[in-house]
A and B are shown apart, each in its own frame.
Chain A
Amino acid sequence: MLALTDVTKRYDALTALDGVSLQIEAGEFFGLLGPNGAGKSTLMSLVSGLRAADAGELLLDGRPLATRDAATVNAIGLVPQTIALYENLSADENLRVFGRLYGLQGAALTARITECLAAVQLEERRKDAMKTFSGGMQRRLNLAASLLHHPRLLLCDEPTVGVDPQSRNAIFDLLQRLNREGMTIIYSTHYMEEATRLCSRIGIIDHGKIHGLGTLEELLTRLPFAETVSFPRIPGTAAAAAALRSFGELVENGEQSHLRLDSRVRLSQVFAAAEKAGAPDRLFQLKRPTLEDLFLHLTGKSLRE
């Protein structure tokens, strides 16, 4: 559906996107994971047509995005990172403004507003000014405003920043439902939990470059280790630590030892060796590798830095 080839965007001396290439298929829930300043919002702004790329090609259904023809514009919905709504207008009035811009009017517009407000659970606040809403409600209305024209591709630029858990879950549920109904979603975030929970495929971006691309499982296979076994550094585990070194990389960190298992090692082998060394297995904790580990591995820094 969406194809980016060698896309580059610069702001004066800063290269925000550096030769990014991506293919996103129809119906995907694609996560763009990276820290602040990685280039996520710039990529969103290029796809939504706000800015033009300095180099490279962006195609939507085979047509250049730069043409900004009606079919392309109507195919895309953007949920901006900021609450891009008029705070003195009511929820209904806000949606009416944006609906009219997309050519909706009359009863059809009213019906669509009702649908969208229901989808974000704000029907009862329809006549209230947006500025009276909580942060989470404003975020939900921000999302509703992007859905009015039935976009096929929804660009969500960190849509849950500063949102309470209840609203976050409401947004997640709605996005997953929309995706199940066929909407393609590109979701940028710096929360690995969100990418893990929502996205069928993830692109890891930093300094304007894509460092990893694939499903969660595919990405995790790029790590040189599989699970991590952690246990306390107490006399009872000292012998086990020595015995376990052969299964992977042992990192001793304060009062804890972390054994990053080689991907070819089976867990049963590890626990058998520990038991043989006399260490009680209840002291051992098993942790699956995460996107955080992968990000650290690919970029050399933490996702939250």
Chain B
Amino acid sequence: MKTVLTLVWKDFLLFSKDKVAVSLTFLVPVALIYIFGQVFGVNRGSSGPTGIPLAVVNESGAPEITTLVAALKKEPAFRVVETTPQAGDAPPVPLTEALVREGIKANRYRFALVFPADATSDERFGLRMKFLYNPRNDIETQTVTGLLQKTIFSEAPAILLQSLRKQTSAYIGKEQTDRFYDQMAGAISEAFGYEREAVRESMKKGTMLGQAKAPAATGGAGGASADFLDRIIKLEKEQLAGQQVKSPAATRSVGGWAMMFLMFSLSASAASLFDEKKAGLFLRLLSGPVARTHVLWSKYLFCIALGLVQLVALFFAGRLLFGIDVTSNFGNLLFACLSAAMACTAFGMLLASVARTPAAANGMATFLILTMSAMGGAWFPLSFMPEFMQTLGKFTITYWSMEGFTAALWAGASFVEMLPWCGVQLAIAAVIMAFSLWRFQRGTIFE
């Protein structure tokens, strides 16, 4: 037993002296738990997405639609956009259907509700509206659709009752209508014991029916009331982009996972500088016709080439497994892959330049890659995270790479349209690479 205890003590002694192991065991998990907690919003009062831009065009002007728009504004999942900014100091102008269509195609927002002039009518019982969308992110689109239905169906009964009153009044006359509601209020009051005037007022406002909970979604589970609402609320859906995309969910998720594995493999390749140092290979290389810059640039070029091949291979695997269309816009997909490979390589080289040991480099890589993957939208949509995390997510390579892949594969973007996404990645690569080269020249890797 003493022998075993001595060996156990030896292991604790070795562990306590290994700062990397200690941090990987305690600090990194705690940090990741905190970050993932923020990403998943575990401490928020309500879970689910927040601040998804929802363009709203109200051509109707009817008070019922104004009420419905107000309800949408109260929904935390949405950030209702009703105007578009103008150049210079000109005040923003209200959105029109044409502007919304253009904005969706340009990915300024991916969802819009258009209430036409005849959204409600005194002659017709019901509501009409158009839902325009760009389902670049399949999970987000499904969620937004569900939330919209929940909000609309919750408000619809009160709105529809008002509409019904108007039509009744027009058909049988105001006097007869008032008499009908008075008698109904009297009957309810006698049957259930409420104040007659209070019941009458509620019926006038339409709030009695409004208190009834409508089903959140249409379909079989909603039952009879949902079917009824489905019949009287005309929601015309129109997909404005990506109609040709064969496998929308896989198109995005393959890119996300590919990015994560790309960062892992390129960080490992960059960290192989430590292995070469340990093996004494730098002694041999640098004593010959090889300079430090040769070693670094060769590693950089190798990692870029490896990353490019890996990404393309993974997308082609996605084509085989899930039917992703990678060939229609292959040139621009290649541009997106190249930009991502360059940015990820720079990231890997940065880790190798700041770490003093391979274990430290690997530890940092694990922490940062998991964090960037979660925050950058590789696993699930940014819109599901708290708003500050959505903002932080834009500081990750993953975010820009994912958007680049989506632009190429989903929107069929041209080279010029790809530039914003790829340009940011190339700028990140240039800045990080310059810093890591500076660090390498002053660090101990070649000593």
Chain A residues with a Cβ under 8 A of chain B: 45, 48-50, 70, 73-74, 76, 78, 80-87, 98, 101-103, 145-146, 149, 155
Q: Is the CB of B287 within 8 A of A78?
A: yes
13 sampled A-B residue pairs with Cβ under 8 A: A48-B283, A48-B287, A50-B287, A73-B289, A78-B283, A78-B284, A78-B288, A80-B280, A80-B287, A87-B279, A98-B288, A102-B289, A155-B287
Assess whether B289 is in contact with A74, with CB atoms less than 8 Å apart. yes
Other 6 A-B pairs with CB < 8 A, given A45-B283, A73-B288, A102-B289: A49-B286, A70-B289, A80-B280, A83-B279, A83-B280, A86-B279
Complex interface: chain B residues within 8 A of A76 (CB): 287
Q: How long is the Cα–Cα vector from A87 to B279 in the complex, in angstroms?
A: 9
Per the 8 Å Cβ criterion, residues 70-126 of B in contact with A are: none
A146–B286 Cα distance when bound, in Å, is: 13
Contact of B285 among A45, A83, A101, A149 (CB under 8 A): A101
Query: B281 an interface residue at 8 Å Cβ cutoff?
Result: yes
B284 touches A145 (CB 8 A): yes
What secondary structure prevails in chain B residues at the interface with A?
A: helix
Q: Which residue of A lies closest to B289 (CB)?
A: A73
Q: How far is the CB of A59 from chain B (nearest CB, A)?
A: 17
* B288 surroundings in chain A (CB, below 8 A): 73, 78, 98, 101-102, 149
A146 to B281, CA, bound (A): 12
Contact B290 A80 (CB under 8 A): no
Closest-by-CB residue of B relative to A78 is B287
Question: 1/0 per position for B338-370, CB-CB distance to A under 8 A?
Answer: 000000000000000000000000000000000
CB contacts (< 8 Å) of B283 on chain A: these are 45, 48, 50, 78, 80, 82, 84
Chain A residues contacting B281 (CB-CB under 8 Å) are 84-86
A101 and B289: CB pair below 8 A? Answer: yes
Determine the distance from Cα of A81 to Cα of B284 in the docked complex, in whole angstroms.
10
- A82 close to B286 (CB less than 8 A): no
Q: Are B286 and A84 in contact (CB under 8 A)?
A: no
Cα–Cα distance between A276 and B279 once the two chains are bound (Å): 63
Whole-angstrom distance between the Cβ of B283 and the nearest chain A Cβ: 4
A146: B residues at CB distance < 8 A: 284
Q: How far is the CB of B294 from chain A (nearest CB, A)?
A: 9
Residues of chain A within 8 A of B280, CB atoms compared: 80-84
Closest to A142 in B: B284
Residues from chain B with Cβ under 8 Å of A73 in the complex: 288-289
Across the A-B interface, the 4 shortest Cβ-Cβ residue pairs: A82-B280, A48-B287, A84-B280, A84-B284
Encode contact with A along B281-302: 1 for CB under 8 Å, 0 otherwise: 1011111111000000000000
CA distance A98 to B279 in the complex (A): 15
Q: Which residues of A contact B285 (CB under 8 A)?
A: 101
Closest partner residue, chain A, to B286 (CB atom): A50
Query: B261-284, CB under 8 A of A: which get 1 and which 0?
Result: 000000000000000000111011
Chain B nearest CB: distance from A160 CB in Å?
16
**What string of 1s and 0s marks CB contacts (under 8 Å) between B246-266 and chain A?**
000000000000000000000
Closest to B291 in A: A68
A82 x B279 contact (CB < 8 A): yes
List chain A residues, Cβ under 8 A from B290.
101
Q: Which of A49, A86, A87, A103 is within 8 Å of B287, CB to CB? A: A49
B301 to chain A, nearest CB (A): 16
A268 vs B376: C-alpha distance when bound (angstroms): 91
Assess A85 versus B279: contact at CB under 8 Å? Given A78-B284, A80-B284, A145-B284: yes
Q: How far is the CA of A155 from the CA of B289 in the complex (A)?
A: 16
Q: A258 to B286, alpha carbons, bound, how many Å?
A: 50
A85 to B284, CA, bound (A): 9
Separation of A81 and B285 alpha carbons in the complex (Å): 14
- Give the CA-CA distance A49 to B292 in the complex, in Å: 12
B289, A84: Cβ atoms closer than 8 Å:
no
A residues near B284, Cβ cutoff 8 Å: 78, 80, 84, 98, 145-146
Task: Report B440 CB to chain A, min CB distance, Å.
Answer: 15
Residues of chain B contacted by A98 (CB below 8 angstroms): 284, 288
| Bound CA–CA A83/B118 (angstroms) | 83
Q: How far is the CA of A83 from the CA of B289 in the complex (A)?
A: 19
Docked CA distance A80–B282 (Å): 10
Q: How far is the CB of B296 from chain A (nearest CB, A)?
A: 15
Chain A CB within 10 A, most for which of B283, B286, B290: B283
Q: How far is the CA of A87 from the CA of B281 in the complex (A)?
A: 11
Distance between Cα atoms of A83 and B280 in the complex (Å): 7
CA distance A66 to B391 in the complex (A): 51
Shortest C-beta distance, A84 to chain B (Å), equals 4
Give the docked Cα–Cα distance between A112 and B284 (Å).
18
Partner of B279, one of A45, A84, A103: A84
A148 to chain B: closest residue by CB = B288
Of B280, B284, B289, B290, which is in contact with the most chain A CB atoms at under 10 Å from its CB? B284
CA distance A46 to B329 in the complex (A): 54
A300 to B121, CA, bound (A): 111
**Chain A residue contacts of B287, Cβ below 8 A:** 48-50, 76, 78, 80, 155
CB closest residue in chain B, given A103:
B289
Q: In the assembly, what is the distance between CA of A76 and CA of B284, in Å?
A: 11
Could you tell me the distance in whole angstroms from the C-beta of A250 to the nearest C-beta in chain B?
Answer: 49
A155 to B, closest residue via Cβ: B287
Residue of A nearest to B283 (CB): A80
Give the shortest distance, in Å, between A282 (CB) and chain B (any CB): 52
Q: Can you name the residue of chain B whose Cβ is closest to the Cβ of A76?
A: B287
Residue of A with least CB distance to B290: A101
What's the least CB distance linking A60 to chain B, in Å? Answer: 13
Contacts of A101 in B (CB 8 A): 285, 288-290
Q: How far is the CA of A115 from the CA of B281 in the complex (A)?
A: 23
Interface residues of B in 398-435 (CB under 8 A from A): none
CA distance A74 to B287 in the complex (A): 10
Cα(A45)–Cα(B282), bound, Å: 11
Instruction: Give Cα A81–Cα B286 distance, bound, in whole angstroms.
Output: 15
B23 CB to closest chain A CB, in angstroms? Answer: 26
Once the chains are docked, how many angstroms separate the CA of A63 from the CA of B97?
A: 79
A149 closest partner in B (C-beta): B288
